[in-house]
Amino acid sequence: MLHQQVHYNVALWLQQRAKTHGAKTAVVELDSKRKVSYAELNEHSSCLAAGLSRLGLRKGDRLAVLMENRVELLELFYACSKLGVVFTPLSFRWTSKELSTTIKHCSPKSLVAEEELLKGKEEALKEVPCVYSLGEGVLGYQSYEELLSTGTGEALAKVNPEDVQTLMYTAGTTGSPKGCLLPYRKTLHNVLNAQLTFGLNEADVALCTLPLFHSGGLFIQAVPTLCTGGTLLLLRRVRGDPHRLLEALEKGKATWFLGVAFHAKLLAGLEKAEDTYRLEAMRFWAFGGEAIPYDVVEKLQVKWPHIALSFCYGTTETSLSIALPPSKRRVSSYLLAKSTRRAPAGKPMPHCEVKISEEGEILVKGPIVFLGYHENPEATAKAFDEDGWYHTGDLAIMDEEGYIYVVDRLYNVIKSGGEKILATEVEEVLLSHPAIADAAVVGVPDEKWGERPIAFVVLKPGFEEEPEQLKAFCASRLAKFKVPDKIIFVEELPRAGPDKVARGGLRKLVLGD
């Protein structure tokens, strides 16, 4: 009877692993060299659940967590799942103002954070009833160890599939992040989809560099790996260093890696990396987020031909919904890869329904879809149509084999004088210029044409270009109406994550609001 009550709760999976494979290493922190077994991870999460209960947290209350990739974040995730408390991870990239706004929005009953991440942000924590910190204790908050040592127990709260397990904030590429209410049944089906897609097994060693406050790191890599009985390697920020990433893969003997376009470009761009880093243990790497450029995929396949490639697509609201299982098939053989200049995202996952609307938008339905946005009924109503389909805002096309190619965001389509301009198409032309390191294109209001494209460009070190030169370069490769009206040079593009440009911030730079 107990199993029927909690089978949607992945905390039960951890308990079972602790009983059958307790001594096996569950998590390794590569930066600190710390290792934690399944038995230790389960015991610590149970102690934390008891500690949170003694603190007064009950089912449905929210616990905010502000940490980089480390064991304690996972301990707290499982502790919350055992207690029925809503796990609420916050971004360590946020400013004090952004953190304050989000804390007011989610109203946590308590917050647990790395002390280093709290420095300079004390003002943002004034409305949090109770704060625990990991660190030297110089800020005067209660210590994480106190919370860990205040109780023991192994009881699991009775949770229903539709109960909220996690409140996770989106990347906020066009504006303020939204809080997604993610139920227990969504986590379970994301685990099942990841296991089926990637063929996960107990011998797998997964390198996780994606932040655990986002869906990719937590629900597509970390939790599925631990549910399967594999070993999870945690690495703090890659910091744009391909050697740091490759050394982690090599020394950790990782069998798979989940990254985004940012990581794929790092790996493909390092000259003769395959001579130094053989990556013999690697079974596959998977890439999601923004579409991976065709030429980047080709370089990876040439450098490490023994490593299969997988591609996947999802959002915070759906996690894994479209994927291409690991394959050594050459990217050039996919029917639309050359014309779209990108690899396919794959095909719909088993535990969901996916269709492409007449407008070309990806729609998703099924047990992997979220409940709605926290305290935002208008956004929730807008996200779903009358038939229950979630509208992702992403545009895609499908080839004759059934493979789906994500071509752009709906809000990245610039409507100019009756024509449609894909921002990514203009960006790809700009990025093909030898002097350009990064580029982003946004649409801004125009009295005559409705909207016109504006480009933001980051030049490579040592290069100097004039805007008119780059406009001429675009004009030789694009229809006239697609050429940006203005090119603005910036030192770097604002980002809402490693692979996502904060386009809302760029529009504000142009419009001045």
State whether the Cα torsion 466-262-323-371 is positive or negative: negative
What dotted CATH number matches 417-511?
A: 3.30.300.30
Could you tell me what percentage of the chain is helix, strand and coil, using 3-state DSSP and rounding each to the nearest 5?
35, 30, 35
Lowest mean per-residue pLDDT among 300-304, 338-342, 412-416, 496-500:
496-500
Q: What does the angle CA 488 – CA 493 – CA 498 come to, to the nearest 5 degrees?
A: 160
Coil/strand/helix, residue 109: coil
Asked if the model's pLDDT at residue 114 lies above 60, the reply is yes
pLDDT tens for 284-317 read 999 998 778 888 999 999 999 999 999 999 999 9
Helices (H), 119-232: 144-148, 184-198, 215, 223-228
Tokens 């690899």 identify what position? Answer: 343
Asked if the model's pLDDT at residue 394 lies above 60, the reply is yes
The DSSP call for residue 460 is: P
Mean pLDDT, range 365-383, rounded to an integer: 96
Most confident of 134-143, 217-226, 441-450, 498-507: 217-226
User: What fold does the segment set 188-410 form as a domain?
Assistant: Rossmann fold (3.40.50)
CA 260 from chain centre, in angstroms, equals 8
State whether the Cα torsion 382-387-390-395 is positive or negative: negative
Mean pLDDT, range 102-117, rounded to an integer: 96
Mean pLDDT, range 463-473, rounded to an integer: 95
Asked if the model's pLDDT at residue 154 lies above 60, the reply is yes
- Cβ atoms of residues 235 and 30 within 8 Å: yes
pLDDT tens for 27-43 read 999 999 999 999 999 99
pLDDT at 138: 83
pLDDT at 499: 64
Query: Closest Cα to residue 443, out of 510, 497, 351?
Result: 510
Q: Do domains 2-159 and 417-511 have the same CATH topology?
A: no
Domain ranges of the chain: 2-159, 188-410, 417-511
pLDDT at 6: 40
Mean pLDDT, range 320-334, rounded to an integer: 95
- Cβ atoms of residues 59 and 157 within 8 Å: yes
pLDDT band at 248 (very low <50, low <70, confident <90, very high): very high
Question: Which tokens sit at 47?
Answer: 């102690």
pLDDT at 171: 67
Half-sphere exposure of 191 (CA within 13 A, CB side): 21
pLDDT band at 513 (very low <50, low <70, confident <90, very high): low
pLDDT at 290: 75
Q: 312: exposed, middle or buried (C-beta count within 10 Å: 0-12, 13-18, 19+)? A: buried
Q: How far apart are the first and last CA of the chain?
A: 57
Q: 418: exposed, middle or buried (C-beta count within 10 Å: 0-12, 13-18, 19+)? A: exposed
pLDDT at 505: 83
Lowest mean per-residue pLDDT among 1-10, 327-336, 424-433:
1-10
pLDDT at 2: 37
pLDDT tens for 263-278 read 998 999 999 999 999 9
pLDDT at 359: 87
pLDDT at 502: 82
What dotted CATH number matches 2-159?
A: 3.40.50.12780
Distance of alpha carbon 37 from alpha carbon 53, whole angstroms: 24
Q: 466: exposed, middle or buried (C-beta count within 10 Å: 0-12, 13-18, 19+)? A: exposed
Half-sphere exposure of 113 (CA within 13 A, CB side): 27
pLDDT tens for 40-87 read 999 999 999 999 999 999 999 999 999 999 999 999 999 999 999 999
**DSSP one-letter string for 398-427:** E-TTS-EEEEEEGGGEEEETTEEEEHHHHH
Q: 1: exposed, middle or buried (C-beta count within 10 Å: 0-12, 13-18, 19+)? A: exposed
pLDDT at 339: 85
pLDDT at 497: 65
* Bridge partners (DSSP) listed for residue 458: 438
pLDDT tens for 172-220 read 545 567 999 999 999 999 999 999 999 999 999 999 999 999 999 999 9
- CA dihedral defined by 383, 389, 390, 395, rounded to 10 degrees? -110
Identify the residue with better confidence: 421 or 154.
Answer: 421
Report the residue count for the chain.
Answer: 513
Q: What are phi and psi of 116, to 5 degrees?
A: -60, -35
Asked if the model's pLDDT at residue 165 lies above 90, the reply is yes
The pLDDT > 90 percentage for the chain reads 76
Query: Closest Cα to residue 374, out of 167, 206, 186?
Result: 167
pLDDT at 194: 96
- pTM of the full structure: 0.87
pLDDT at 172: 59
Asked if the model's pLDDT at residue 387 lies above 90, the reply is yes
pLDDT at 451: 86
pLDDT at 424: 85
